[in-house]
Amino acid sequence: MREITYRQALNEALAEELERDPNVFLMGEEVAEYQGAYKVSSGLLQRFGPKRIIDTPISENGFAGLGIGAAMVGLRPIIEFMTFSFSLVAFDQVVNNAPNMFTMSGGQFNIPITFRGPNGPAHQLGATHSHAMENFYASVPGLKVCTPATPRDAKGLLKTAVRDNNPVLVLEAELLYSSKGMVEPPDEELLIPLGKAEVKREGSDVSVICYAQTVPLALKVAEQLEEEDISAEIVDLRSIKPLDEKAIYDSVAKTHRVVIVEQDHPFCGVGAEVCYRIQKNIFDELDAPIIRVSQEDVPMPYNECLEHAVLPNAEKLTAAVKQVCYA
């Protein structure tokens, strides 16, 4: 194992999959000559050439659709959205064409495509650039959605996504691109299956279910709570769809108390689905009502203080944990 950044981990995943399979290509705005808006594709143009690392005009609908068409005849496109906020311009392609094709064609055309890029609020980007799209996309049958929070998960999930025969969305996190973590050396194949959560920290008093940018937040809060003798178990979903229900139930059966901390909006958010499943399937295990911590139900304000207030943050999460623990 060695320590690399989330950005490097994604870069390695791309390079390894491009190397392994000539049908894989990377396409998006600024992915080639500019080396990636967030430098995730740094060096790939030099290594794989312009045939496989392809800059596009600002035409999300157009190049997302191009990728889907190419996937219909067996190529395995990786389409980068500069941010998933811009995927809204390609919403029709991602929601109508990619996941419906397999069904509509009676199973003749599967779409082995990966859509990837940063998702969720970053820092003071305002309402249009702060969208967390996981609940939108996870609600669409035919799509798979994963949300890596660590360099290791970023690498392993992206590689798996590229090899999947279905449209997979890899929702990265802009604020995590420079974060570091331990990852297997490059000569060791790292594939992390979709639909497998991971307990990032063992605990006995409360299960904090989180994903993406809320994972480091939850880990930080768990450390502080330890000092107050509250032992929080941190369950990183890693994939929103498929959802690892077993991992969730195993943890809840152990702690009997649950806080879900999500980066999307509260209404119809990811936590609502997780919460429903817990109460439906293991109601008797619960010692307290489940609490969700999410964004506030407002468009994202630019102002830094207000932004902090809108986001799921340490204060809110700490208060929620104490509430379910009756502490």
Partner 1 sequence: MQPGEQRDEVEMLSLMLLIRRFEERASQQYQAQKIGGFCHLYIGQEAVVTGAVAAVRDDDYIITAYRDHAHALARGTSANACMAELFGKATGCSRGLGGSMHFFDKHHHMYGGHAIVAAHVPLGVGLAFAIKYRGEDRVTLCFFGDGAINQGAFHEALNLAALYKLPIVFICENNLFAMGTSVKRSTSLKQIVDRAEGYDIPGEIVDGMNFREVRDKISEVVDSIRKEPHPAFLEARTYRYRGHSMSDPASYRTKDELEKYRLDDPITRLRAQLTREGKLTNEQFDQLDKRAKETVMAAVKFAEESPDPPLEKLYDYTYADGAKA
Catalytic residues: 60, 129
Query: Residue 146 pairs with which residues in a beta bridge?
Result: 170, 239
Q: How far is it, in rounded angstroms, from Cα 257 to Cα 245?
A: 16
Helices (H) and strands (E) in the chain, counts: 12, 14
Least distance in angstroms from the C-beta of 315 to partner 1: 34
Q: How far is it, in rounded angstroms, from Cα 2 to Cα 207?
A: 29
Q: How far is it, in rounded angstroms, from Cα 27 to Cα 5?
A: 22
Between 99 and 151, whose beta carbon lies closer to partner 1? 99
Q: How far is it, in rounded angstroms, from Cα 79 to Cα 41?
A: 12
∠ Cα 325 326 327 (to 5°) = 85
β-strand pairing of 239-241 with 144-146: antiparallel
Closest CA to 156 of 178, 186, 121, 131: 186
Between 115 and 177, whose beta carbon lies closer to partner 1? 115
Least distance in angstroms from the C-beta of 216 to partner 1: 26
Dihedral of alpha carbons 306, 312, 315, 316, sign: positive
Least distance in angstroms from the C-beta of 137 to partner 1: 11
Between 245 and 296, whose beta carbon lies closer to partner 1? 245
Between 157 and 232, whose beta carbon lies closer to partner 1? 157
Between 100 and 323, whose beta carbon lies closer to partner 1? 100
Least distance in angstroms from the C-beta of 11 to partner 1: 22
Q: Where do contacts with partner 1 occur on this chain (CB under 8 A)?
A: 25, 51, 54, 56-57, 59, 61-75, 92-93, 96-97, 99, 101-110, 112, 141-142, 144, 164-166, 195, 241-243
Dihedral of alpha carbons 210, 213, 215, 221, sign: negative
Residue 287 in tokens: 């010692």
Between 90 and 293, whose beta carbon lies closer to partner 1? 90
- DSSP type of residue 166: S
Cis before 50? omega within 30? no
Q: Which residues of 38-68 are buried (b: 16+ CB within 10 A; e: fewer)?
A: bbbbbebbeebeeebbbebeeebeebbbbbb
Least distance in angstroms from the C-beta of 264 to partner 1: 18
Least distance in angstroms from the C-beta of 58 to partner 1: 9
